[in-house]
Structure 1
């Protein structure tokens, strides 16, 4: 299982990069997570997670064009790799297996 070790935040970031496709850069990832999950994300935590996932081979990055709004610095765009998709698929299957293993009497519990 360590082959595809992903923490919850890493999984959310990786899923968000996949969803944003060609438009996945730091700020857009942060905003998408905030919008979809109602969760605030610090840029520092996001950058650390992106770096870790690049090191694991789950992501690649490329520099975009520089802009005057960014003081000439280019945006860094992220793309999910095949290995990253395998990690997401593995996590999804592990979770589905657990969900499908919940006994029916437990599934029928009321959560009013």
Structure 2
């Protein structure tokens, strides 16, 4: 598979999908990200990132069962593909190498 670029926000959304597993649907992804980032996000920004990543082959999705709690609506559940997990591991390795290469600096005031 051709290497596809993954943006910073997409990476955060993808990581959140892998954390949430079976609960990885739009509103829950938004809630989890807002809590972890301590900032407000729009549902639209999450949905756009999910759609782009599905088109790039990082995610698959399927509809869950309709529930009374959701007014008969079904949730679209997202799952990371094996390709996405491989890319996330590569990014983690790159970041770890970079962080361990930072010289120790004293920030004493």
User: Normalising by structure 1, what TM-score?
Assistant: 0.86
Question: Could you tell me which of 91, 109, 112 is aligned with 2:106?
Answer: 109
RMSD after superposition: 1.7
5 Å matches for 1:1-112?
Answer: 3-103=3-103, 107-110=104-107
Q: What residue ranges of structure 1 are gaps of 5+ in the alignment?
A: none
Q: 1:111 to 1:5 in 2, by over 3 A?
A: farther
Q: What residue ranges of structure 2 are gaps of 5+ in the alignment?
A: none
Q: Is the 8 A contact 1:17 1:79 kept in 2?
A: yes
Q: State the distance in 1 between where 2:61 and 2:98 align.
A: 33
Q: Is the 8 A contact 2:4 2:56 kept in 1?
A: no
Q: Is the 8 A contact 1:5 1:87 kept in 2?
A: no
Q: State the distance in 1 between where 2:97 and 2:46 align.
A: 29
What do the CA deviations read for 1:1-21 (whole angstroms, capped 9, x no partner)?
x81421111011000000001
Q: Is the 8 A contact 1:4 1:90 kept in 2?
A: no
Q: State the distance in 2 between where 1:79 and 1:111 align.
A: 45
Q: State the distance in 2 between where 1:30 and 1:56 align.
A: 20
